[in-house]
Amino acid sequence: MIHFHSPDHDLLTESDKVLLGAAAPNLVRPYLSLWRNEHSTPLILLPEIAQATEVATVVMKDEGHRLGLGSFKALGGAYAVMTLFKRMLEAHLEDNISIAQLISPAARGFAASITFCCATDGNHGKSVAAGARILGCRSVIFVHEGVTTARAAAIGADEIVRVKGNYDMSVDEAERVSKERGWLLVSDTSWEGYEEIPSLVAQGYTILAEEALDQIEELNIDPPTHVFLQAGVGGFASSISLHLNEALGHENIKTIVVEPDRAACLFMSAKAGRLSSFSPTEPTIMAMLECYTPSLVAWRILNATATAFATVSEEEAKDAMRKLAFREHPIVAGESGCAGLAGLLTVAGDPEVRRRLGLNDSSRVLLINTEGATDPASYENIVGSTADDVLRNVANHSS
């Protein structure tokens, strides 16, 4: 399904533009120095997808190895944790400190008294836990009963708390317990009265948007005309959409938001013309996108910048995973990671949708693989090969 939307750029606040605009990556980048394996992720040309969808070019930013955590989320939660810890440490010391001093012996002593927490489907919690670990803080991550054992084990937190119900229920429980115990909640979804921290998380993601534009320029390709962005609560999609709007001009880029048809809270909000929740029926394999209430800030930004809201089925996501795994130069993409590609493949086959989106043989499409095989068993079951076997094919092609 697809819902066409008339974005109203005037809905954006000046603080939105500062937070996620052209200068935002400059605020994030210094914190990346605290990671030992910081490097840009690759941008990959997909000529066979461009041919199949009858557009000029398709490129994919592959976040499957970002900072060693397997997803773009590495940029958001950890950055927010580090930013918040810096504020707390400066208040404690009553002095300004450098980012490098966040891991000094004096900082370590203070860090031991701090606990960060959040709710997660997997990747955001992994980032929050990693940020806390780098600083020497404690992390407690809340996961709902739909999160697989493999995804929960991969988070690497000091403590995992299982919550009955879905993602939204784990968000509520994390908020309740954090208030009760004095922990610092670093959520990637926002609600009334809780907007600053999720906005910091979203600011971290602007790094990958800036990298993508730089890499496109290095390939001597004109900037994208369309971007297909998968969404759960919408923090990632809103961050990339606004950054591209500010960098390229909102008249030059069309954002298509893609969600699972079993968890389409932004799609429902766009149809209703207001923030709305989605009533779940059954789980989706796109587990990282299985959210039923949008982020307040993300919805406001997407309402101002998105051209369309689309949904994809379980089988369409599986098909996109296989297309990436069995191309000449394979890409490992998890169920949620390939949702943007699934969206492109779905809408490209409808002439009327193409016309309304302005999707034609001169269009240039940007996709982002937001995660690798975060659940190895699920990946192998869908693709028919392990992620390692797929990556061996990459090595074979490179040799």
CA–CA separation, 381 and 38 (whole Å):
31
If you average pLDDT over residues 201-225, what whole number do you get?
96
Long-range contacts of 167-175, Cβ-Cβ distance < 8 Å, separation of 24 or more:
167/119, 167/121, 167/232, 167/290, 167/291, 167/292, 168/277, 168/291, 168/292, 168/293, 169/144, 170/119, 170/120, 170/142, 170/143, 170/144, 171/119, 171/142, 173/119, 173/142, 174/117, 174/118, 174/119, 174/142
Burial (CB count <10 Å: 0-12, 13-18, 19+), residue 36: exposed
pLDDT at 151: 87
Q: Which of 371, 397, 375 shows the shortest CA–CA distance to 386?
A: 375
* Section 180-200 average pLDDT: 94
Tell me whether residue 168 is one of the annotated catalytic residues.
Answer: no
- ∠ Cα 66 122 80 (to 5°): 60
Mean pLDDT for the chain? 94
Q: Mean per-residue pLDDT for 141-153? A: 91
pLDDT at 36 over 80: no
Catalytic residue among 62, 121, 168, 188: 121
Give, in degrees to the nearest 5, the angle at Cα 273 between 261 and 12: 105
Residue 391's pLDDT is: 85
Active site residue 61: no
pLDDT band at 203 (very low <50, low <70, confident <90, very high): very high
Q: What is the 3-state secondary structure (H, E, C) of 308-331?
A: EEEEECHHHHHHHHHHHHCCCCCC
In angstroms, the CA 216 to CA 209 distance is: 11
Name 21's Cβ contacts closer than 8 Å, sequence gap at least 6: 242, 243, 246, 247
- Looking at 94-189, list the stretches that DSSP marks H as alpha helix, in order from N- to C-terminal side: 105-111, 123-135, 149-153, 167-181
**Neighbouring-strand partners of residue 119:** 142
Residue 63 scores a pLDDT above 50: yes
Catalytic residue, from 17, 61, 62, 73: name it: 73
Could you read off the pLDDT of 68-92 as tens digits, one per residue?
888 888 899 999 999 999 999 999 9
- Tokens representing residue 323 in the block: 């297309």
Residue 330 pLDDT: 94
pTM of the prediction? 0.92
